[in-house]
Structure 1
Amino acid sequence: MVKIVTKEELVAILAAMPERRTVGSTGAGGGLLEPDAVLACFEEAFVTHGSPKDMTLVHALGFGDKDRRGVNRFAHHGMVRRVIGGHWVWSPKLLSMSQKNEIEAYCLPGGVLMHLFREIGAGRPGLFTHVGLGTFADPRQQGGRCNTATTEEIVELMQIDGKDVLRYKPFAVDIGVVRGSVADASGNVSARDEPADLDSYSVAMAARNSGGIVIAQVRELVADGDIRPREVTIPGNLIDYILVVPDQAQTYRGAYNLALAGLEHGKVETSSGKEDAARRIVVSRAAEELVPGSTLNFGFGMSAGVAEKIVAEGRQKDFWFTIEQGIHNGDLLTGDMFGIAANPAAILSSPEQFDLYSGGGLDMTFLGLAEMDGHGNVNVSHFNGQISGPGGFVDITQKAKAVVFCGSFDTKGARSHVENGKLVIDAQGQVQKLVADVAGITFSGAQAKAEGKSVLYVTERAVFRLTPEGVELIEYAPGLDLQIDVLDHLGFTPILRNPRLMDARHFIA
């Protein structure tokens, strides 16, 4: 029987929990579907009563405000002993605890974790998948481990029908934490006013079928019959406790905007507002690769500018947009609100979206390039000895037919401008991004070559392509000396055949 609880009652329930419980929570960046009021009850229970303690926290996509909200609630010594996350940057305190070996820390692909929740709920012997092969999640690399305190193998390499696969091992989920817009008297939860469903159902099912409990946060209670059957995100038989939070915000932007849930059409500011020469050049050159009729995916950061360019040029109907949060088409938001779209055409659960990606249903993806090397590997997850996490990056790139990486040539102090159709370098960056070996493999060049995947690496100074022989430099910016301005700043020696100049139209101020 579902019980409606106050915050005080929920704190008491959590304080009475045995130690070493495993908590699975839904949520994504920007406050998307973030059950923060429930997580605040966990924090209050531990700070006030010292329990629950030594928990394992599992979340597929990173969420929090880099201060107090979201997973930051768990950043207390003794509160968690292990964190398994798909993205870590929204909680600097947990990152610090990981770096100091104060907790066991794992990072796994976001889609993998969502599918693993589903497999746990279904009682199957883990998740068997190609996703993660050749990357940091592969046990031949780090097996997802992020520090020396983390020793248990939670991923194993297997062969099925003569092919390598990874098995991500299942575990019991003792407490599932989910969120919706409304719940009815029978406990049915609907995310009808939210911008995404994420993995709510999978998290709830994993906890329920592990013999655990499920806590749902909603904005309001409604009468039975008020939620239409197709609007139910999680049926009431999976829910144990409901916490009603009348002032629940839709995202960190605040009040509910129904255009973000696709319930009405509205104009929403979508642009990141970032604009510089390097970004304009990279976005313009990357967009050259677009093939009308393609199903596309866009990542966080500079690569999202390709979607902005398509919209600005009125070409949106030529393509089918998708993002990992389950969104199809619409006006994609960028920056901290990445993962949300105004006026979407469809909203699926994230596990369903990752099924599309895993099965090869993605024609092309445009993703960030934080670091690349001469083997064609890309790193967006490991920096300065600590983990940031890939979110859905690994799941998306593994079977996409074509991958276009977008990023600046170097960083930290790098400045350039365009003049008379040429690139002018004003200051070299202090941090090299095109290196001999990346700090962590988020995208495996070797795996991509084995699969014959089309891979392009676009920077403002040069464009590279992954070939069977290795990384080839195919274009460089007009106005640059190839040796002095490009090759001398690489940590590897690319293949050089007949590199041509990038089209001058990308260098118009």
Structure 2
Amino acid sequence: MSKVMSAQEAISLIKDGDKIGVGGFIGMGHPQELSVAIENSFLETGHPRDLTVMFSAGVGDGTPDLGLNHMGHEGLLKRIIGGHWGLIPTFQKLVFENKVEGYNLPLGTISLMFREIAGHRPGVITKIGLKTFIDPRLEGAKMNERTKEDLVELINMDGEEWLRYKSFPLDIALIRGTYADEDGNCSMCKEAATLDSISIAQAS
């Protein structure tokens, strides 16, 4: 049976409460039609809702009209985990108004997290973030009062302090390809960059 489907059919696979890994960097490498389809479905039916979205780079252009900005609606999102937020004002607004949970983790660490999740490993262990806003002894990367769960923990190995960025399962991958076949294989031969796409697909 062919796996080729419309954007509407694809987003119908997303369930309320799903955790979504998102590919893209600014205006490239992101499946724009899927973000628009998710937005339209939510505005028309109220579903999907209470989603967790995880991305490394800012997927947008600073306006409400590109990339993840289409998903910036109260109720559609429950939690946002991102590296670069600068071009996603609709997400910023939700976090600043305390309407969703928000985490600002290092961009490169999120890229590594996708790989760790794909490998079913317990997370990224690194010194990146020690004694900064990321450190759980300070703010733990939490962006507002609504955000309570600790996604980063301080650990000690051989007498040295490290941070562990915890893994968690992803349900859905939103990635862009150039071509796809009926078996669901995607080629990225004419994309500007592959970015985190392979890791996100493997993690979901």
TM-score, reference length from structure 2: 0.94
User: Residue 28 of structure 2 aligns with which residue?
Assistant: 32
User: Residue 191 of structure 1 aligns with which residue?
Assistant: 188
Deviations 1:272-292 (CA, angstroms, capped at 9, x unpaired):
xxxxxxxxxxxxxxxxxxxxx
User: Residue 391 of structure 1 aligns with which residue?
Assistant: none
Q: Secondary structure at the match of 1:3?
A: coil
User: Residue 9 of structure 2 aligns with which residue?
Assistant: 9
CA contact (8 A) 2:3 2:182 kept: no
Question: What displacement does 1:93 show?
Answer: 1.9
Rounded Cα–Cα distance in structure 2 between residues aligned with 1:60 and 1:49: 29
Rounded Cα–Cα distance in structure 1 between residues aligned with 2:111 and 2:140: 17
User: Residue 38 of structure 2 aligns with which residue?
Assistant: 42
Question: What is the identity, as a one-letter code, of the residue corresponding to 1:53?
Answer: R
Change (3 A) 1:59 1:163: same
Residue 23, structure 1, aligned to residue 34, structure 2:
no
Question: What is the identity, as a one-letter code, of the residue corresponding to 2:46?
Answer: G
CA contact (8 A) 2:30 2:174 kept: no
User: Residue 100 of structure 1 aligns with which residue?
Assistant: 97
User: Residue 316 of structure 1 aligns with which residue?
Assistant: none
Deviations 1:429-452 (CA, angstroms, capped at 9, x unpaired):
xxxxxxxxxxxxxxxxxxxxxxxx
Residue 152, structure 1, aligned to residue 152, structure 2:
no
Q: Secondary structure at the match of 1:5?
A: coil
Residue 131, structure 1, aligned to residue 128, structure 2:
yes
- Stretches of structure 2 lacking an aligned partner (at least 5 in a row): none
Question: What displacement does 1:188 show?
Answer: 2.3
Question: What is the identity, as a one-letter code, of the residue corresponding to 1:61?
Answer: A
Rounded Cα–Cα distance in structure 1 between residues aligned with 2:18 and 2:32: 19
Question: What is the identity, as a one-letter code, of the residue corresponding to 1:25?
Answer: V
Percent of pairs with identical residues: 39
Higher share of residues assigned strand: 1
Q: Which residue among 109, 112, 115 is the counterpart of 2:112?
A: 115
Q: Secondary structure at the match of 1:96?
A: helix
Change (3 A) 1:8 1:81: closer
User: Residue 89 of structure 1 aligns with which residue?
Assistant: 86
Residue 54, structure 1, aligned to residue 50, structure 2:
yes
Residue 141, structure 1, aligned to residue 125, structure 2:
no
The structure having more radius of gyration, on CA atoms, is 1
Deviations 1:194-241 (CA, angstroms, capped at 9, x unpaired):
22110001101110xxxxxxxxxxxxxxxxxxxxxxxxxxxxxxxxxx
Q: Which residue among 196, 201, 205 is the counterpart of 2:198?
A: 201
CA contact (8 A) 1:119 1:125 kept: yes
Rounded Cα–Cα distance in structure 2 between residues aligned with 1:190 and 1:137: 36
Q: Secondary structure at the match of 1:73?
A: helix
Q: Secondary structure at the match of 1:179?
A: coil
Rounded Cα–Cα distance in structure 1 between residues aligned with 2:67 and 2:105: 19
CA contact (8 A) 2:47 2:76 kept: yes
Q: Secondary structure at the match of 2:44?
A: helix
Rounded Cα–Cα distance in structure 1 between residues aligned with 2:178 and 2:131: 40
Question: What is the identity, as a one-letter code, of the residue corresponding to 1:19?
Answer: D
Change (3 A) 1:18 1:180: closer
User: Residue 60 of structure 2 aligns with which residue?
Assistant: 64
Rounded Cα–Cα distance in structure 2 between residues aligned with 1:125 and 1:8: 34
Rounded Cα–Cα distance in structure 2 between residues aligned with 1:57 and 1:100: 18
Q: Describe how 1:292-307 pairs up with structure 2 within 5 A.
A: none
CA contact (8 A) 1:10 1:41 kept: no
Q: Which residue among 169, 172, 177 is the counterpart of 1:172?
A: 169
Rounded Cα–Cα distance in structure 2 between residues aligned with 1:49 and 1:25: 23
CA contact (8 A) 2:3 2:183 kept: no
User: Residue 78 of structure 1 aligns with which residue?
Assistant: 75
Question: What is the identity, as a one-letter code, of the residue corresponding to 1:52?
Answer: P
Question: What displacement does 1:2 show?
Answer: 5.8
Rounded Cα–Cα distance in structure 2 between residues aligned with 1:122 and 1:137: 24
CA contact (8 A) 1:180 1:191 kept: yes
Q: Describe how 1:200-239 pairs up with structure 2 within 5 A.
A: 200-207=197-204
Rounded Cα–Cα distance in structure 2 between residues aligned with 1:8 and 1:190: 21
- Stretches of structure 1 lacking an aligned partner (at least 5 in a row): 208-509
Q: Secondary structure at the match of 2:175?
A: strand
Question: What is the identity, as a one-letter code, of the residue corresponding to 1:172?
Answer: P
Question: What is the identity, as a one-letter code, of the residue corresponding to 2:183?
Answer: S
Rounded Cα–Cα distance in structure 2 between residues aligned with 1:51 and 1:67: 20
Rounded Cα–Cα distance in structure 2 between residues aligned with 1:118 and 1:27: 16
Q: Greater relative contact order (Cα 8 A, min sep 6): structure 1 or 2?
A: 2
Question: What is the identity, as a one-letter code, of the residue corresponding to 2:51?
Answer: M
CA contact (8 A) 1:84 1:106 kept: yes
User: Residue 409 of structure 1 aligns with which residue?
Assistant: none
